[in-house]
Amino acid sequence: MNIDEKSFGRNYFTPQLAIIRCNEKKFLPFAEENAKNFFCELHVSHNDEDFCFVVYKLFTESKDALNFGSHHKFSYCQAEVPDERPRIRLYIALPSDWRCGNLWTMTSDYSTWKRLAVIASGTSLKELVKDCLQRVHISALVVQAIFDSLLNGPLILSDKLNSGIKKRYNYVYDSNWQCKFAVIPNEERSYSGSSTINLSEPIISDAEYLPQIALLNLDKTASSLFTENHLARYISNRLEILGEIDPYRLLHLVFIPAFLVDKFETKRNVTVIKSPLIPYLPSAFNNIHQCLSSVESLHISGCRSLWRITKINNDRAELRHTIGGGSASLLGAVVHELGHLFKLPHSTEGIMSIRGGDNVQVLFLAKTIHNLGIMAANNFGMDLYGNSAIYMNIDRVTILEIIAQNRFDDISRTFLSLSFFIRWIPRKAIHAIIYNSKNHIVISKAGIAIIIFVSSCGKPFHVDFRTNSGNYNHLQCSGFINVRDEHEIFKVPTVVKILKFPADQILVATLDGNSMVCEK
């Protein structure tokens, strides 16, 4: 990226979808001028105590930029992705009988998406699938923007920031694969399903700058998928039959918009997102704010949802289940599962906690209290879905604590910073990780960077093998230094002390960016 550093004192890299926040009124005229451009929106909270505006910018061309005066520039550079760079592929998985009208089975009040069983026209089916594809196309960029903000820090416009260029690390989406067809082995076929599976070629949105998606036509029927208890494992097996499993180069994010009940599941290299709220995700760039700010009552009982603040007056808040809140919870769940896809464990706080990710809308809304999800309010024994509302006192400290949970914890950020899916550096080879549970030894020719112990109570403990100076040339832990390729983790005193807690998993990251989950 060519940036004129003499003209711009502060230059910032951004993801393709940039969400820029500012609390200084002097920058508002520049934001209003930028908002006149195509694919740029401005949303302002005029509260005198908490003035804030948010600028959305969808960059459609490489080296495009947003300027705020003569000293602030937000730039996007779509670098060429080398073939060897690891990436994430997007899918929409369809049951074998979806053309027969069994793709979506919704409640009768789901007015915008009628039951496909009553639709005879193939064109209507195609239009419904096309609508779903478009929502996943744009939501993929929304999720990538959320991930970028949580990992690298939010894009904040302010004179108080230090000058300079900050490089931001993130994953990339796959766009290079071919149509494939495979026959299911006889011993794995279901009685009512198909004997074949197929993978479509990359489906490009009408807007060619959006991520590409594959349609994965499965062999199981909709009813069989509904009763499948291990969706991620099942889909991983089908992708393996297609020859698409490559843990060092490819991870898989699969959406299934076909059921009444949410299910989020990650198994090794595959994440499955099953939700009836996928049709409520943003359908276009100019629909993102409308989607996440909507306080329309949510009537779907099978989805992930919290009570949301819709009104507040003198710390007295009205809370409802809202469509905007449900959409935010779904997007946050995708980010949470992406964390698991990158081998992160659950944490005690932040987005990787067991219920983390319900308030990602605070990144997009100028008024962060709007549609804020309150976990404690679920204890009220009220009707969770519908037009009912509850009222409770919420102080400012509680609100700030909830907003602060919208982040990756320190251990997760450290682990992500080592992943070659996030921080790609060309290398000759990725070395395997070998864990000998009998002799309690972890081996990697690349060298161990970090080991995280996940206890049965869900609290992770970690040991970092970098030296105090940050040099990775040797392993170090409380003065004990071992050779690079073999470290007897149970014989280090500090680690032995940590392992007094029962460890269900051991997560290992190596110096070449590889990572592995070692089961107990």
Digit-coded pLDDT (tens) for 132-154: 889 999 999 999 999 999 998 88
Per-residue pLDDT, averaged over 427-450, amounts to 78
Residue 484 pLDDT:
42
Contact 66, 55 (CB under 8 A): yes
Residue 367 pLDDT:
92
Residue 227 pLDDT:
82
Q: What is the pTM of this model?
A: 0.86
- The H or E element that residue 516 is part of is strand 515-519
Burial class of residue 176, CB neighbours in 10 A (0-12, 13-18, 19+):
exposed
If one compares 386 and 40, the residue with the highest pLDDT of the two is 40
Residue 498 pLDDT:
58
pLDDT in tens, 405-431: 889 988 888 888 888 899 887 777 778
Q: Is the pLDDT of residue 378 over 90?
A: no
Distance CA(510)–CA(74), nearest Å, equals 33
If one compares 486 and 320, the residue with the highest pLDDT of the two is 320
Per-residue pLDDT, averaged over 491-514, amounts to 68
Residue 346 pLDDT:
83
Q: Is the pLDDT of residue 255 over 60?
A: yes
Q: Is the pLDDT of residue 194 over 90?
A: no
DSSP 8-class letter at 95:
-
Distance CA(230)–CA(237), nearest Å, equals 11
Residue 226 pLDDT:
81
Share of the chain residues as helix, strand and coil, in percent rounded to the nearest 5 = 25, 25, 50
Per-residue pLDDT, averaged over 380-394, amounts to 66
C-alpha distances out from residue 42 to 19, 30, 325, Å? 10, 11, 21
Q: Is the pLDDT of residue 441 over 50?
A: yes
**Nearest of 308, 176, 182 to residue 249 by alpha carbon:** 176
Residue 485 pLDDT:
47
Residue 461 pLDDT:
64
Distance CA(506)–CA(520), nearest Å, equals 8
If one compares 388 and 109, the residue with the highest pLDDT of the two is 388
Average pLDDT score over the chain = 79
Helices (H) and strands (E) in the chain, counts: 9, 26
Q: How confident is the model at residue 376 (pLDDT cuts 50, 70, 90)?
A: low
Highest mean pLDDT of the ranges 27-36, 48-57, 64-73, 339-348: 27-36
Q: How confident is the model at residue 381 (pLDDT cuts 50, 70, 90)?
A: very low
